[in-house]
Amino acid sequence: MANHSILVINPGSTSDLVAFYKGGKQVFLKTVRYSRESMRPFDKLPISAQFEMRKETVLNSLKENGIDLKNVECIIGRGGLLKPIEGGVYAINDRIIEDSTVGVQGEHPCNLGALLAKNLAEVNGVPSFIADPGIVDELDPLARYSGMPENPRISLFHALNQKRVARMEAEKMGKTYEQCRFVIMHAGGGISIGAHRDGRAVDVNGALSGDGPFTPQRSGSVPEFGLVKMCFSGKYTLNEMRQKITGHGGLMAYTGTSDCKALEDYALHGTVNEGSGIFPEKISREKVLEILNAMIYQMAKEIGAYSAVLEGKIDAIILTGGLMYSKYIVKELTRRIDWIAPVKLYPGGDEMAALAESAERALNNPEIIKEYK
């Protein structure tokens, strides 16, 4: 039964999402977007340096919507880059806080989800959780091989949303998630693509570690020798190279902005949105369109690869995430992949509802709550 008051916190690459649910219904959803300029002071700092700024965002969102923090029964945050764990709901303990703070598997704003949830929950002693974080690891043994024993492939993907849309599509088909075979792509600031078989994500691209298509902010797979030469050139620090891979790569590197909607408006219609970071004197519409098409090309190529993982036996290819609101991207991508399997569209990704549902299940069935060790 959905009868609890739940605060959901979801820090992302370029925005924070804050929502409040009561009795299973969303009372409010607040999206706070951060400009490149506002994030610039944090470029050379660890993600944890953004804690106070993002905490203020949460508190302001509650205040604006007339919600007293003392009336919140539970807080759930987007899980971060922890050690590999199985899917499920986890109570936030000291080990989660420690591993989120140091970035045991990498730096990403999602690491702040647990820190914010735990900190705010302690105000009135209520439970705090994470659920199905991006490091959920269900890889088949063969998927772990990389060709370099010291550097195996790891599981980093949008587990929460991919698994939710998989269950939704399976229900539409009259099946369970465990009975289906899907290739699922979540495309937003980062792009993760997974081969889902029998209720498990048996292979995924390392969406944060430089694997797969380039994205609005990430470089994706790049020529390895060229990357090694850059690392040893003496021109870049370790943090600067990380920024080139995650943060300043992809569309940002080619165009100066990660605003895909603004780039599409400019490329297709010649519209330059104020504050978009697009400067026509520096880049032409034709070049921007070519770059967008290159990103779509790489998406399609990666979807094809994961279709091979499932040996072509696929119930559907599911497209989800913020970039799937783009009619142009969906049209061009579908044109390249619909010969493989039916294409199903779930624009955006209601991770907030997925987190709220996870917290509700945990509150109603405490026995399902898992411990991070």
The pair of structure tokens assigned to 218 is: 């990430």
As a whole number, mean pLDDT of residues 249-275 equals 94
CB 343 within 8 A of CB 367: no
Reported CATH class of domain 141-341: alpha beta
Closest CA to 321 of 186, 190, 194: 186
E strands within 106-228?
Answer: 128-131, 181-187, 191-197, 200-204
151: its two tokens: 């550097």
Task: Convert the pLDDT of each residue in 178-212 to its tens digit.
Answer: 999 999 999 999 999 999 999 899 999 988 778 99
Q: What's the Rg (C-alpha) of the chain?
A: 20
Interval 27-47 mean pLDDT: 87
CA-to-CA distance for 115 and 97, rounded, in angstroms? 6
Q: What number does CATH give the domain 5-136+351-368? A: 3.30.420.40
- Asked whether residue 2 carries a pLDDT value surpassing 80, the answer given is no
The pLDDT of residue 362 is 95
Contacts by residues 325-328 (CB-CB < 8 Å, ≥ 24 positions apart): 326/260, 326/261, 326/264, 328/264, 328/268, 328/292
Q: What's the pLDDT score for residue 105?
A: 84
Predicted pLDDT of residue 161: 92
Beta pairing, strands 74-78 & 316-321: unpaired
Q: What is the pLDDT of residues 154-182, one digit of tens each?
A: 898 999 999 989 989 999 999 998 999 99
Say which residue the tokens 């106070």 belong to: 52
Question: Across the chain, what does the average pLDDT equal?
Answer: 94
pLDDT at 102 over 70: yes
H/E stretch holding 91 reads strand 89-91
The whole-number pLDDT of residue 119 equals 98
Distance of alpha carbon 93 from alpha carbon 99, whole angstroms = 10
Helix (H) or strand (E) holding 267: helix 260-269
- 74 near 129, Cβ under 8 Å? yes
342: amino acid identity, one letter: P
pLDDT greater than 70 at residue 1: no
Average pLDDT over residues 301-314: 98
Structure tokens at 288: 């921007």
Which residues of the chain form CATH 3.30.420.40?
A: 5-136+351-368, 141-341
Q: Is the pLDDT of residue 287 over 90?
A: yes
The whole-number pLDDT of residue 258 equals 95
